[in-house]
Amino acid sequence: MSCTLGEVKNRADFIIYWGGNPAECHPRHFTKYTIMQKGKFVPAGRKSRTMVLVDIRETPSAKAADIFLQVRPGKDFEMVTALRALIKSQRVSKEVVAETGLTVEQLQDFADRMKSARFGILFFGMGLSMTRGKHMNSAAVLTLVAELNAFTKFVAMPMRGHGNVTGSDMVMRWTTGYPFGVNLCRGYPRFNPGEFSTVDLLVRGDNDAALILGADPGATMPQPGIDHLARIPTIVLDPKVTHTSRLARVHITTAATGISAPGTVYRMDEIPLPLRPPLKSPYPTDEEVIHRIHQAVGKKPAWLPAANGRASVSRAG
C-alpha cells in the first residue's frame, strides 16, 4: 500500500511519521519530499498539510509537527490495533487504550482525521519495526493503511536505514524471490526470518564462516553474535577498518560506493538512481573483489552431488 515520494509531494495533505525522527535521520525528507514542498495539488504547501508525529518521546522532529502523539514505549501495536477498530466504528476498551498513554478521544480524533484526509501517508521508522512486536508492528500500520482505503486514499512507506538497504532488498527479490535472510545451501533459495536472518544465525552460531560487506555487525550485534564472528573465519570488505574488521581474519579495503565506486541505489520508495562517483580510489570496488573471489571459488570442485547437478527446466513450475 505504497507510492513513490512524488505522490506525497504532489498530493498529501495528511502526513504521519511514526517511530521515526526524520529531522535527524532523514534530514532532507521534510524539505525535499513532504511537508515543506509546494505540490501540484497542494500549491499552498505547508499551510495545506497537517503533520502528525507519533513517538515515545519528543524528538527534534516534533517541532515540525502539528500534532504530537506521545505513545508509551512498547505500546504501538496496541495503539494501531485500536485505530483499526475505531476506523470501522468498532468498540475499544477505554482502560486498555489508556495504557498506551493516549485516550480514546485522542485516538478517535486521529482516526477521524485520517479518514477525512484527501491523501494520507504514514511513514514508519525503526522505532516501530525494531521494537517489541517487530514485523507485526510494521504489518499493523500496513494493514491500517490498507483498510483506510475504504474511506480515502492512504499509503504507507518505511523510512529505510542508511546505505543501499532498499537496493539489496530489490536485487535479492528478483534473483531469489525473497528480500533478505536467504539460504542457498540446498542449491535453491529458501527464506525464513528467525532461522536464516543474520542476527539469529550469528547468535545461535549456525554458520561456520562469514563474509561481511557494507555492514558492521561487530558494532551492532548482541554479544554472543560478536563472539561467534570472532571465532569463525570472518572476511570484511569495507572502505574503513571497522569493529568487525578488528575481529576478522581478513580485511580488504575497498573503494567507497558513491564516492569512488559507481552503481545504482534504490531510494526508500524503490526508485533507482545512478551514482556518479566524483573521486578516484586506489582501492578496488566491492564488485571487483567479489568477482575475483567468485572466480577463485569457481575453480574448486562443485559441491552439489551429481544427482542435483543437472540443470532441468521443463517441469511444472
Partner 1 sequence: MITLTLKEQPSVPLEAESISPDVMATLSHDAIASLPVYLGKRQCRVDDFFRVEGGASEELHINGDAAKVKWIGRDMTRGRISITGNAGMHLGAHMKGGVIEVSGNAGDWLGGEMAGGHIHVRGNAGGQVGAAYRGSVTGMTDGLILIDGFAGLEVGMRMKRGIIAVRGPVRDFAGLQMKGGTIFLLGGAEIRTGAWMTRGTVVSLKPLRLLPTFAPVAAYNPVFLRLYARHLRTLGVSIPFESREGVYQRFIGDSAVPGKGEILIWQPQSTR
Partner 2 sequence: MLRITGGKVYDPTNNIDGVVRDICIANGQIVADVQGGRTLDATGMVVFPGGVDIHTHVAGAALNFARAMTPENHRQAAKFLHSPEQRAGIGGTTPTTFATGYLYAGMGYTTVVEAAVPVLSAKHTHEELRDTPIVDKACCVLMANNEIVLDLLEAREVERAKQVVAWLIWAAKAYGVKAVNPGGVAAWKWGKDAKQLSQPVEGYSKTTPARIIAGLATIVDELRLPHPLHLHCNNLGAPGNIATTLETMKVLEGHRAHMAHLQFHAYGGDDWHSIRSEAKTLAEHFNANKNLTADAGAILFGNAVTITADGPWQHLLYQLTGRKWGNLDVENETGCGIVPYVYKGSNLVNAVQWAVGLELLLLIDDPWRIFLTTDHPNGACFWRYPEIVQMLINADFRHERVQALPEKARKRMVLPDLDRQYSLYEIAIITSAGPARALGLTQKGHLGVGADADITIYNQNPDGEQMFRYPRYVIKAGDVVVEEGHIRNAHEGREFLVHPTYDEKIEDFLRPLFQQVYTMSFDNYPVEIERITRPEVRAV
Q: Which of residues 62-81 bind partner 1 (CB under 8 A)?
A: 77-78, 81
- Cβ proximity of 159 and 25 under 8 Å: yes
Q: Rounded to an integer, what is the distance from CA 177 to the centroid of its chain? A: 17
Size of the site for partner 2 (CB under 8 A): 55
Which one of residues 60, 188, 204, 279 is an interface residue with partner 2 (CB under 8 A)?
Answer: 188
Question: Does the footprint of partner 1 cover residue 88 (CB under 8 A)?
Answer: yes
Which one of residues 27, 163, 189, 194 is an interface residue with partner 2 (CB under 8 A)?
Answer: 189
What is the per-residue binding string for partner 2 in 122-141, x denoting contact by CB under 8 A? --------------------
Which one of residues 88, 173, 240, 280 is an interface residue with partner 2 (CB under 8 A)?
Answer: 173
CA distances to 233, 237, 238, 265, 284 from 261, rounded to whole Å, are 27, 13, 12, 12, 9
Residue 63 binding target from partner 2, partner 1, none, CB below 5 to 8 Å by type: none
In whole angstroms, give the CA distance from residue 75 to residue 148.
Answer: 21
What is the per-residue binding string for partner 1 in 173-202, x denoting contact by CB under 8 A? -----------xxxx---xxxxx-------
Nearer to partner 2, 296 or 313 (CB): 313
For 290, the grid coordinates are 567479489
In whole angstroms, give the CA distance from residue 23 to residue 34.
Answer: 12
Which one of residues 97, 226, 229, 255 is an interface residue with partner 1 (CB under 8 A)?
Answer: 97
In whole angstroms, give the CA distance from residue 211 to residue 18.
Answer: 34
Per residue, the 3-state secondary structure of 48-67, as one string, reads HCEEEEEECCCCHHHHHCCE
Stretch that binds partner 2, among 16-24, 90-98, 168-176, 286-294 (CB under 8 A): 168-176
